[in-house]
Every structure is written in structure tokens, then in C-alpha cells.
Amino acid sequence: MISYNAYYQTFRDNHWQYEATSAHNRGTPWTAFYLRDSSSFNLFERDTVLAGVNSPGYTFAALLSASGSFPASVQGNTMRGCVFKLRGDLYTQDGFATGS
């Protein structure tokens, strides 16, 4: 799931699962979840992201907020009751709320 310029959306009870059968052609990790430029004020509630759990040797990245060339443009996103399980790294460039 990659998002650019998405505002005030609600994602609820979704299940995303990504697996790799080969290495990324750039030699970098695959990207499973990516909130990019200006994706702000979105609610993720009880969503599950499984990335590369059954992909031995292949890694994934999840970027919870990545403004890229527009610093602080990804803001106000809330993740409430979400589960991330990935073979790789979880990144954030801008802040986000975990909710309760």
C-alpha cells in the first residue's frame, strides 16, 4: 500500500500480506507500506500488515511517514490497534499517533 496526497481517509479492519519470490531489482528491500508526500490525517484502525513473513532471504520496509522532499507534509495520521509484522525495518520520518 503506497499513498501519495491522501487526506482524511479511514482504513478499518484491513489485512495486507506481501511476499517476495525474488530479490528487489535494485538490491534494496521491497516496500510494503508507504505513506508519502502529503498523506495526512488518515485513520488506520485494526489493520494488519504482514510483509515478507514467509519470504526467506528477502526483506521488506514499511515507512509509516515519509515526506521525501516535502518535510513535515505527512502528519496527523493515527494508527489504532494495528499490527505490523515484517522481515525488515519499520521507518518514520515524521511523527504519527498510535491512538488508544
pLDDT of the residue at 69: 78
Distance CA 29, CA 63 (A): 12
pLDDT of the residue at 6: 93
Question: Which of 57, 71, 65 shows the shortest CA–CA distance to 33?
Answer: 65
Distance CA 38, CA 88 (A): 25
pLDDT of the residue at 95: 66
Q: Please give the chain's pLDDT, 100 residues, in tens.
A: 889 999 999 999 999 999 998 888 888 899 898 898 889 999 999 999 999 999 988 889 888 888 877 878 888 888 899 999 999 888 888 766 665 5
Question: What are the strands, taking DSSP E only, across 4-96?
Answer: 10-12, 15-18, 30-35, 43-45, 48-51, 60-63, 78-80, 83-86, 88-91
The β-bridge partners of 84 are 49
pLDDT of the residue at 75: 87
